[in-house]
Amino acid sequence: MSLLARFTVIGGLSSEQLARKIATRLRSKYVGCELRVFPDGESKITLKTKPTGKIIVVHSVYPPVDSNLVRALALVSQARKYSSQVYAVIPYMGYARQDREFLPREVVTMSLIAKMLKAVGATKIIVVDIHSMMALKHFQISTKNVSAIEEIVKYFKKLCLKDPLVVSPDMGGVGRAQNFAHLMKVEYIALEKHRDRKTGEVMIKSSNHQKVRNRDIILVDDMISTGGSIVKAAEHLRKQKCRRIYAACTHALLIGDAEKRIRRAGVARIISTNTIPGKTSIVDVSAVIARAII
């Protein structure tokens, strides 16, 4: 049986272009949808054609997070009417940071989302570089987290960088930076952040200043939201006389004026993937997602 007969890819409005690319790679049928938003904010979704075979719903949950979550759930629910096998591809999984009870009485929202996706009929979940692997432990169905790092590295290998150094903006991302640097075949360091408990001010401490001077820097993170960590890291690195600074991430949320502040801090370019569409999302992750599906 051909892939065309086996799969139908449904592209939600938040991930339409990525969904089309995935369908092309799988040589499968693509079904788009129409969205109508009523004055009170309700969403009404209509599939353009009837899906067949195994169904893949592609829909990221980025801002407006709650609206995109409901739309993803609605599409999965509709897809289940046509197939007993529905893969929910959620390239950017919103609420992944709410994966545990950090303070007493906090709602673990990721647990609720896992239950909802199962309840509406998802039989498998595929995400890209989820913020916390703990988040996937809330699911009682098959899950797969795929990495976009190799694809981002391929992009940077094409650039003419001078003695590049991979840098994690904090110690929490050291594993990511190490993996990135290994694939780039270059060195890496991780900056150490310190937060003043009285003022809340964030300071960067690092003993690797000699490694930074006169080198191109690749600041690596899984996501850039408000850009605070990237801004602090870039300002610190510029003081150490580095050359150009690039910010690389899988998910570029870039809330508010984040992009402007990051550039003002000295970052020459922001490179992200198409898990979230935008002008920085120049790295395509459709290949890694397609491989995870097959």
Residues involved in catalysis? 193
CA dist., res. 294 & res. 289, Å (int): 9
* Residue 1: Cβ within 10 Å count: 6
CA dist., res. 48 & res. 13, Å (int): 12
Residue 167: what are its φ and ψ, rounded to 5°? -130, 130
Letter for the amino acid at 79? A
Residue 187 burial by Cβ neighbours in a 10 Å radius (0-12, 13-18, 19+): middle
Residue 246 burial by Cβ neighbours in a 10 Å radius (0-12, 13-18, 19+): buried
CA dist., res. 13 & res. 278, Å (int): 14
Task: Give me the residues paired with residue 267 across strands.
Answer: 245
- Pairing between strand 124-128 and 86-90? parallel
- Give the total residue count for the chain: 294
CA dist., res. 197 & res. 39, Å (int): 44
What token pair was written down for 212?
């930074």
